[in-house]
Amino acid sequence: MRSVYNAFRYLGEDVKICDTPEALRSVDKIVLPGVGSSKDALAGFSRKRLIEPLLNEIGGGKLFLGICLGLQLLFDRSAEGGGTDCFGLIKGSVNIFPGGPGLKVPQIGWNTVELSGDVCPLFKGVKDGSYFYFVHSFYCDSSEPEFTVGKTEYGVNYASAVWKENIFAVQFHPERSQKNGLDVLRNFVEL
């Protein structure tokens, strides 16, 4: 969370960490970064009574950017931790990478994003096939390919960027992806 916070501060943005429903309602845009388990993250949101307020803000049209786990939580279900239901805002599942020869799990490091579908404003000025930094063991398998605007291959071809109305999300870490990542964050700021 701190590296995402610092990246937005670097871009000159006023950033607020929200841990109450009132704080969520007070901001113009919501960014949900995350590392770790879907089940643990959802339990933390539940303890703080943030799930319904977050979904209400997104449902009300507030711009949202999910990063890494913030993307995965948008899907129906994650296989992580024995399986857990997620937000269900995008149809599909989150599954563990199958691995294979030369493919360690988790995927850690640089990989490309092949842009697809409508030109997503998040990627304005970013070239197709650009490199971004990834750290994850699970990937998103979307049942709604019309919302997939970026794909990455790591043993499987998976949704690494989605865009559905006011919802934007990426599997990679833009805050660690040098110029390309800062361009993505700047584009989100400018929406």
Active site residues: 68, 173, 175
58 membership: H or E segment, kind and range: helix 51-59
User: Which of these, 4, 69, 64, lies nearest to 41 by C-alpha position?
Assistant: 69
Residue type, position 77, single letter: R
Contact between 73 and 88 (Cβ < 8 Å): no
Angle between helices 51-59 and 38-47 (to 10 degrees): 100
Distance CA 153, CA 158 (A): 6
